Structure 1
Amino acid sequence: MKYLVMLCDGMADEPLEELDGKTPLEAAATPNMDRLAKVSEIGMVRTVPEGMAPGSDTANLSVIGYDPKRYYTGRSPLEALSIGVDMAPDDVSFRCNVVTLSEEEEKYEDRKILDHSSDEISTEEAAVLLEALKEGLKRDGYEFYVGTSYRHLLIWKHGSVVELTPPHDILTKRIGEFLPKDPLLREMMEKSYEILNHHPVNEARRKNGLKPANSAWFWGAGTRPALKAFEELHGKTGAMISAVDLLKGIAVGAGMQNLMVEGANGGLHTNYTGKAEAAVKALTEDGFDFVYIHVEAPDEMGHQGKVKDKIRSIEWIDEKIIGPVTEKLSKQGQDFRMLVLPDHPTPICVRTHTADPVPYLLYDSTKNAQGAASYDEKHGMKSKIREEEGHRLIGHLFEGE
């Protein structure tokens, strides 16, 4: 028996008037998910423990089987693992987004975050901007590292964990009340705007109709994590397929193998087909017991408030990953169990994460369950199956041996 998780980041949503009261998942054409739903277990799971912030960090830790209340030490330290930063026990890491701030206000604190991803800036462009930040924000004990797209890293040697606000939580809001209380962190953010706003990379982006990445934004502070090895925890060898440093960092911390897919970028136009092919190969040729396929696109489209593109991302997951993976494994005679779910909702109406439970689909190629007419939030809520502790759900996936 082989095992998969198809993690559709931020896919769950709320009913929208413009979709005649449907969610994007309900509105999307998902023939493969709906075919599986009829013979699968459909339920709801709470991936974010009560009292914890609803982030992809806590939620994905839950889905992979790690209780966030025990293992979570912050988001950016997980990303640091992916980048290869060797943190000392008393180092503190911060996510450093390059964001788009409004420009018409005179004072930095009066500006607004227009886009937490700067139009999903390319890693190549962002790397040039990070070099400018490294030079212009030189401080003893502070080091910048390039990540992926808009997601980068700041390490504060012998630092302190401080409370900071994720930029996607305050889109279009005045930033003043959300700036760091730490005077040096705030000074660095203000200075970053002076360095980046008229940088040649951003001037070129403006000419091309793209938003400038004109400020750094620090958040997600934390210390070095210590995850128990996935194989020791679950007795399975595991591989991760993701384009984002957070998930790759979780895999590094858990001793899972990161499988790199060319063209996978964390955006809407990622290499869905490549991810499907990598998953099948990992399970049928490379000897892995378990593969975690992560697609960021629904979450990004939720943050950006793009209803049609969120629907499109869901449809592409269904068409280009779920359909081909299930078909190829079945044709090869491979028994498998697959869990399909989002990590958390990213509702279009709020453009950020919520902590509400999410629907899951659990398919077993060797036996049929009672199932439902389709896989979506509505049918998940109708189910009597509830899992209040999300980190236990993966054990349910492995029960079918």
Structure 2
Amino acid sequence: MKYVVVIGDGMADYPLEELDGKTPLQSARTPNMDYIASKGVSGMLKTVPDGMGPGSDVANLSIMGYNPKEYYTGRGPLEAPSIGAELKEGDVAFRCNFITERDGILEDFNAGHISTEESSQLIEALNHKFPGYGEFYLGTSYRHLFLFHEKSAADLVSTPPHDVVGEPVESNLLKPAETKNAEILNGIMHRSKEVLTNHPINQKRVQEGKNPANMIWLWGQGVKPEMPSFKEKYGLKGATITGVDLIKGLGVYTGLTNIYVPGATGYYDTDYCGKAEYALEALKTHDIVFVHVEAPDEAGHAGDLPEKMKAMERIDKRIIGKLLKKLPDFGEHAVAVLPDHPTPVHVKTHTMDPVPYAMFSTLAEADETEYYDEESAKKGSQGLIDGYRFMEHFIKYAGKS
């Protein structure tokens, strides 16, 4: 039996007036997702436990079958191994965004999707400016990491920048602000403007009409997590395909093989077809492959409905369509499709709502669901389950005959 899980980051949404009361999933053309729903079963998944933030870190940890209440220590440490940052005892890893700050306001949480090539020069400048405090590590685009050598900093309260776009920077810095660690780290964030504002990379971006990466934002901190491997937990050899360091980091900690796809960017221009092709190749030597696509989430954060629907339709045609065509070559197989969390275009950030999932197996019977979307899944035979139970649920369902 071969398994594939396709995760459309942030796909779920709310009914929209401009779509005549339908959600983007209901309105988009997704015949292959509908095929999975009509030939399989559907339900709703609570990927974010009560009391936890609705981040991709928590949600994807759930989908991979790990209870966030037990294994989650922060977003930063999950991304660390993917970008070459080795956490030692006492280290705290912070996610480090390049942002655009203007007149004291957090204007853009991704600095106009600055390129990785541009970011590399800015990261180098930051390490030169702040020796002794910790180390900055280059990630992808606007997503980077800062390693701070003081374990107690893990207890600070931080805010995801995508949750406070348009709000004052000063109101959303690390807290409690009067503690020594917060004073140091908030000071680094403020002083980063001195390094970045006049850097040639940002001067050129401004001249070209692009948002400058003129400040850093530290958040999502934590210490190194400990968790059993996916093989130990579920008896399957697995792989991940993604353009996002978070998912790659989860792969490292859970013992999954991270498959490098040259055109996987973590943005609208990601190579959808390449992800499908590499997934099929990976299945020759692995039992299960997680295919993660960030594009719908980026569109949701941007409030860009047309781009979000394009991303979902591309996932459907270029990834799921190719998989469904070729998977019979492997014999018995099962496919699941789901978001990790909603990123509604009118909210422009993640929400806590349960997400719809559909799964199909060549060995299992179907329910009466015809389409893949939020409303259809609510009526599916599988009801509502906790996210971290999804993997065992999927494996058990797939083996039914």
Counterpart in the other structure of 1:166: 160
For 2:323 and 2:40, how far apart are their aligned partners in 1? 16
For 1:386 and 1:51, how far apart are their aligned partners in 2? 22
Displacement of 1:303 after TM fit? 0.7
Displacement of 1:36 after TM fit? 2.4
Displacement of 1:334 after TM fit? 2.3
Q: Give the total of aligned pairs.
A: 390
SS class of match (1:10): coil
Q: TM-score, normalised by structure 1?
A: 0.95
For 2:308 and 2:49, how far apart are their aligned partners in 1? 26
Please say if 1:189 is aligned against 2:199.
Answer: no
For 1:325 and 1:99, how far apart are their aligned partners in 2? 37
Counterpart in the other structure of 1:203: 203
For 1:231 and 1:198, how far apart are their aligned partners in 2? 49
| Aligned residue identity for 1:305 | G
Gaps of at least 5 residues in structure 1 are 106-110
Select which of 125, 130, 134 maps to 2:127.
Answer: 134
| Aligned residue identity for 2:338 | L
Displacement of 1:367 after TM fit? 4.0
Displacement of 1:88 after TM fit? 1.2
SS class of match (1:14): coil
Select which of 141, 165, 175 maps to 2:169.
Answer: 175
Displacement of 1:117 after TM fit? 1.2
Counterpart in the other structure of 2:24: 24
- Contact 1:3 1:397 (8 Å CA) reproduced: no
Q: TM-score, normalised by structure 2?
A: 0.95
- Contact 1:137 1:191 (8 Å CA) reproduced: no
- Contact 2:3 2:289 (8 Å CA) reproduced: yes
Q: 1:382 to 1:131 in 2, by over 3 A?
A: same
Percent identity between matched residues is 47
For 2:144 and 2:205, how far apart are their aligned partners in 1? 19
Gaps of at least 5 residues in structure 2 are none
Cα displacement string for residues 182-218 of structure 1 (whole angstroms, at most 9, x for unaligned residues) = 1111111111112112321112222333211111000
SS class of match (1:231): helix
For 1:292 and 1:27, how far apart are their aligned partners in 2? 25
Cα displacement string for residues 151-202 of structure 1 (whole angstroms, at most 9, x for unaligned residues) = 1111111332111100000011122211122111111111111211232111
| Aligned residue identity for 2:130 | L
SS class of match (2:4): strand
Q: 1:221 to 1:333 in 2, by over 3 A?
A: closer
| Aligned residue identity for 1:41 | V
Counterpart in the other structure of 1:143: 135
For 1:21 and 1:202, how far apart are their aligned partners in 2? 42
Displacement of 1:237 after TM fit? 0.2
Counterpart in the other structure of 1:260: 260
Cα displacement string for residues 319-343 of structure 1 (whole angstroms, at most 9, x for unaligned residues) = 100000110112x252211110000
SS class of match (1:388): strand
Matches within 5 A, 1:1-400: 1-102=1-102, 105=103, 111-138=104-131, 140-159=132-151, 160-161=153-154, 162-180=156-174, 181=177, 182-283=182-283, 285=284, 287-330=285-328, 332=329, 334-399=331-396, 400=398
- Contact 1:25 1:311 (8 Å CA) reproduced: yes
